[in-house]
Structure 1
């Protein structure tokens, strides 16, 4: 499903020791759910990237890393990131989540107005565990198919409602990261730049940042994750800005907002 940047609050960030470009090799991640260390592999730093979360297609020449929906298959021979909508329901999928949908004081389902997606209720341990069970089943499928990492989207849902908190989001994504690590998958921090200094709490390994050029956040992600940051811009002005500052370090791509395929009217893909 096409999924682009949502407005979110801007918060200050501190510094976390950077992962060097040489750290393309596997690293060890400790899972709270499993004392045994699992070997995960980060995406290659500063690699040519393509964002294919709408529908998969043959990656352009030179692409080394691709992100695809969990219903798709990985691209042979590349580093593959598996996209899952982890904090909101897909449009029209409310019935799949039943009592796990976030409701307001009037008992009405709370929606993300930009995309018409019902928000998930991550406010309690019980709800988080039930939501994680469903999302982690998708993660298991990603691992079985041969994906290398998982991208849990809408981490920043809490910024779009007063009913959810940052602590709710951190607790939820930690469940997902721990499970992904048990399956040998790296886990991306999707947007939410203020979480970059909280990796001990979230357990996240690298970043997928939409519009960090527009919001002057690319450096914040780079301070926390070194060169293991994938940047997606949707407007030429901000793509050029991101490239001018980070083209020699980060993976940067400009895509159309609907994440279309080659041959579709409106398809856009450009790299620095």
Structure 2
């Protein structure tokens, strides 16, 4: 989701990750990845959280962690997560991506129909590197502004088209993870609960899960990331389910679908 146009795709422990890494990647690569992850700090677990990707505003009392769009500035004195739309183009920004847009067999650009966003073509190594270069320039800006982490949205694009595979998504997000770590930033798994067990491959440090209470997926994220899971719900029943199961462990917030600011007629923010 973007600061101006969308609200995202709806819908164990470190020791275990280290053991898995030793199995699936070369020794030198694993050592390098482990060193990088040790240099970054994920958001504190079970901390007050606010999701401000729609509009940045003064965080409510008790908030310790906030997510804001990469075009915004971080909130002073808090742990700040920087939002970037990494797997899809913003509406109206298709021309910025040229031949990096995903096209079907007839040559038509493939869109996420729910949000009117063109999908990016991460199917080849060459295109993944070109797309990552652009996204990572936003990550550089996040680091320069003082954000402590990055949240690359639409990791689950592969669930919305048969043209992109899970392998494509994991390979691409690893490029972002390695770059974020090099900049001293932690990096989130945004949605895609099925990927929570693949941390050794993706290099991701914590999870940001939309509506995992509603869809009974919070446990999948906890299995992969322990208590380092941030939950955003958009319906009261989802909040209730998440709070009942994990309210004493995870950062959980209810927001309005358009993530508006206080003073807006649609503004909603509640916690457990």
TM-score (norm: length of structure 2): 0.90
- Give the match for residue 245 of structure 2: 245
Could you say if the C-alpha distance between residues 256 and 49 of structure 1 is closer, same or farther in structure 2, counting changes exceeding 3 Å?
same
Taking the aligned partners of 2:258 and 2:14, their CA distance within structure 1 comes to 32
Taking the aligned partners of 2:30 and 2:99, their CA distance within structure 1 comes to 26
Taking the aligned partners of 1:62 and 1:145, their CA distance within structure 2 comes to 23
- Give the match for residue 27 of structure 1: none
Shift of 1:35: 4.0
Alignment of 1:87-236 (within 5 A): 87-236=87-236
Shift of 1:34: 9.9
Asked if residue 17 in structure 1 is aligned to residue 21 in structure 2, the reply is no
Taking the aligned partners of 2:192 and 2:232, their CA distance within structure 1 comes to 14
- Give the match for residue 4 of structure 1: 8
Shift of 1:55: 1.6
Shift of 1:5: 3.4
Is contact 2:10–2:210 with CA below 8 Å preserved after alignment? no
Taking the aligned partners of 2:271 and 2:250, their CA distance within structure 1 comes to 11
Shift of 1:41: 0.9
Higher strand share: 1
Asked if residue 47 in structure 1 is aligned to residue 47 in structure 2, the reply is yes
Aligned length: 254
CA RMSD after TM alignment: 1.8
Which stretches in structure 2 are left out of the alignment for 5+ residues? 16-26
- Give the match for residue 262 of structure 1: 262
Taking the aligned partners of 2:118 and 2:199, their CA distance within structure 1 comes to 27
Could you say what secondary structure the match of 2:173 adopts?
helix
- Give the match for residue 82 of structure 1: 82
Runs of 4+ in 1 over 6 A off after TM superposition: none
Could you say what secondary structure the match of 1:147 adopts?
coil
Taking the aligned partners of 2:32 and 2:152, their CA distance within structure 1 comes to 23
Is contact 1:48–1:63 with CA below 8 Å preserved after alignment? yes
Alignment of 1:54-65 (within 5 A): 54-65=54-65
Shift of 1:18: 5.7
Taking the aligned partners of 1:221 and 1:31, their CA distance within structure 2 comes to 28
Could you say what secondary structure the match of 1:199 adopts?
helix
- 1:160-217 per-position Cα deviation (integer Å, ceiling 9, x unaligned): 0110000000000000000000000000000000101001110000000000001111
Higher helix share: 2
Taking the aligned partners of 2:264 and 2:30, their CA distance within structure 1 comes to 44
Could you say what secondary structure the match of 1:40 adopts?
coil
- Give the match for residue 13 of structure 1: none
Taking the aligned partners of 2:163 and 2:137, their CA distance within structure 1 comes to 26
Could you say if the C-alpha distance between residues 33 and 56 of structure 1 is closer, same or farther in structure 2, counting changes exceeding 3 Å?
farther
Shift of 1:17: 2.5
Is contact 2:8–2:153 with CA below 8 Å preserved after alignment? no
